[in-house]
Amino acid sequence: MNVFSHPEFDNHEHLSFFCDPETGLKAIVAIHNTSRGPALGGCRMFPYASDEEALRDVLRLSRGMTYKSALANLDLGGGKSVIIGDPRKQKSEALLEAMGKHLEGLGGQYIAAEDSGTSVPDLKVMGRHTKHVAGIVERTAFDGQPSNGDPSPTTAYGTFVGLKAAVKHKLGRDDLTGLKVAIQGIGNVGYRLARHLKEAGAE
């Protein structure tokens, strides 16, 4: 498995592989860029078909987080972490605690948040061993509703707004009435996106 010559490697500042045989944890943390501040990015748990697939995902997503933070003018850089495993079968408190210990060992260069396969309670378990986790404190969301750190409502709304902008650009329309939209996957984000689209008159 090549790293420096990998097609998704983009002068990443840091890449760490962590294995804890006792809990079964196998994880990769990628820090793409910290010029604006510590790297922020989700911690994903997914049953990757291969180590190569996991590496490709973490390199690609960490780079994307650098640009997201910069576009939002945040004092944060871009990073990502992946845990190789099925979150429905292999996730345990011990595994999450081991991940928290590994994050703490990075000295604050990377801050983990919720992502596919992880939840706010999972991040709280990691938080027993590190302060470098985000989205575990309840706040008020953009719509005035209480938020527990789950980013899916905001992600769904952002996707909805982006879709409306694409329709305006391509079709010259301000409304979505009668427009047919395909959604791949009705998870936490897809379900909320479907609700926004239905309320806007889309099919």
Active site residues per annotation: 80
What would you measure as the largest C-alpha separation in the chain, in angstroms?
A: 57
Q: Which H, E and C letters describe the chain, residue by residue?
A: CCCCCCCCCCCCCEEEEEEECCCCEEEEEEEEECCCCCEEEEEEEECCCCHHHHHHHHHHHHHHHHHHHHHCCCCCEEEEEEEECCCCCCCCHHHHHHHHHHHHHCCCCEEEEECCCCCHHHHHHHCCCCCCECCCCCEECCCCCEECCCCHHHHHHHHHHHHHHHHHHHHCCCCCCCCCCCCCCCCHHHHHHHHHHHHCCCC
Distance CA 199, CA 101 (A): 44
* Phi, psi values for residue 77, rounded to 5°: -100, -165
Strands 39-46 and 77-84: parallel
